[in-house]
A and B are shown apart, each in its own frame.
Chain A
């Protein structure tokens, strides 16, 4: 891994990522992974407080360089998710800290075996007062007949700031993969000072093909992203974000809205590549052109 001079990569894992297998056999033994990370402030710098990691999940913390937030990179050494795997990720950012979370690569959700329960990914993010957390994982690729119950809960204290993206790719169109059936529930809940202020739960019908072509539902898209900003000044970015998504691009349908201290952007794209380009345009506006975590490869 390349590093710029002076940055100490506080790598907490040893060894390399195993090759990802494009088809994982449904296994009787489901994987159970858990990450618990907390960061705190020391001399105006965000530093690791506690880290617990078990099962196939690993986390690598890269110490901050000047002008960049401390960055933590999630990694699933299991090479994808299937067969009722359970992954739980708990992140706590103490007051005043700044943390960026990303993932090493795209997560793959493989076909569920007969009798498998949906795999679960449960992420909880608690952000203390005046802290900033960016949740910027790379795409999640769903294979035909995948079964996933994913939930993300964010707890903000007072003026804490959260920026997150979640991208789903429904079969890799470039490889001729399509999704006929799917069992997906994908829920985001955002609480501010213990009050629910936003809830978004996506649950396509099992007969995914019908939803995919429906003009009110996916409108023919095979990739979607949701970008959510919760911050006192969220609405101030609306015009710039609208400009970023209003670019005339036939491969993208997108919109943005701001209310109640939130800014929500939804993107529908015909390909994962088009989705990535448009998402990065929006994130660039919301991150004041700061570079993305290096794992994004841009």
Chain B
């Protein structure tokens, strides 16, 4: 990857920090059910689970959506496409709530014309919101994609640490092991078309559906 400019780094460290108020800590992307169903019981299984979602699920999908929103050719269409890609009610809420919260929190960085376009769209998928802001501010697209996928994984790893539960260092080992996958997905999604969006995490989707009626829940997805 090329050298990142200081401005890019300053933007991304803030926007994709866990402290940025998107409410990401409240979502587990169905992991809470997977832990309950004992499909994920340790660090190795957590790595496998998140790795599959990165390669064949929301990770890859979001990276493609982010890249298209970055170019902002027709943002309302990309936003509608992104919203249509959600496979369950909770996963739709997960991405739309975070995206909408992201736009609200990003006000200090938001150029007025983009703010107007986003206001007309209303609820917006998280990767589309991030991609649109990065594009409008000239923040490097590759760096943004990597930072987004990193933050997305970090949220899930943290959810896994709380749910399984795992020790802090076991969680960090999972995060470290996901780095090559993050790089590979960023690489593979460069130049991908919206029509290339496809997934294969059927069991995880079913887990998200079943999470809706899970008896004890810490997470909203």
Q: Which residues of A come within 8 Å of B, CB atoms?
A: 185, 187, 189-190, 195-205, 211, 214-219, 221, 224, 242, 253-260, 264, 266, 268
Contacts and interface: CB of A to CB of B under 8 A. Distances in A.
B198 A217 contact: no
Contact of B84 (A198, A215, A255): A198
Contacts of B213: 242
B87 interface: yes
B49 A215 contact: yes
Interface in B190-221: 197-210, 212-213
A196 B84 CA distance: 7
B194 to A, nearest CB: 9
Contact of B205 (A195, A205, A255): A255
Interface stretch (B4-12, B50-58, B114-122): B50-58
A176 to B, nearest CB: 24
- The interface residues of chain B, by DSSP majority, are classed as helix
Contacts of A260: 92
A268 B206 contact: yes
Nearest to A259: B89
B32 interface: no
Contact of B203 (A189, A204, A217): A217
Secondary structure of the A side of the interface?
strand
B203 A257 contact: no
B206 A253 contact: yes
Given A187-B198, A197-B84, A214-B48, A257 B89 contact: yes
Contacts of B40: 215
Contacts, number: 105
Contact of B80 (A196, A201, A202, A215): A196
B178 to A, nearest CB: 14
B204 A216 contact: yes
Contacts of A205: 55-56, 200
A190 B57 CA distance: 20
A259 B92 contact: yes
A275 to B, nearest CB: 12
A254 B206 contact: yes
B39 A216 contact: yes
- Residue among A199, A219, A256 with max Cβ neighbours from chain B (10 Å): A199
A215 B203 contact: yes
Given A255-B208, A264-B209, 4 more contacts: A196-B84, A215-B40, A216-B52, A255-B205
A110 B34 CA distance: 35
A229 to B, nearest CB: 14
B81 interface: yes
B202 A199 contact: no
23 contacts: A211-B56, A214-B52, A215-B49, A216-B203, A216-B204, A217-B56, A217-B200, A217-B201, A218-B203, A219-B203, A221-B202, A224-B202, A255-B205, A257-B208, A257-B209, A258-B89, A259-B86, A259-B93, A264-B88, A264-B209, A266-B206, A268-B202, A268-B203
Nearest to B91: A257
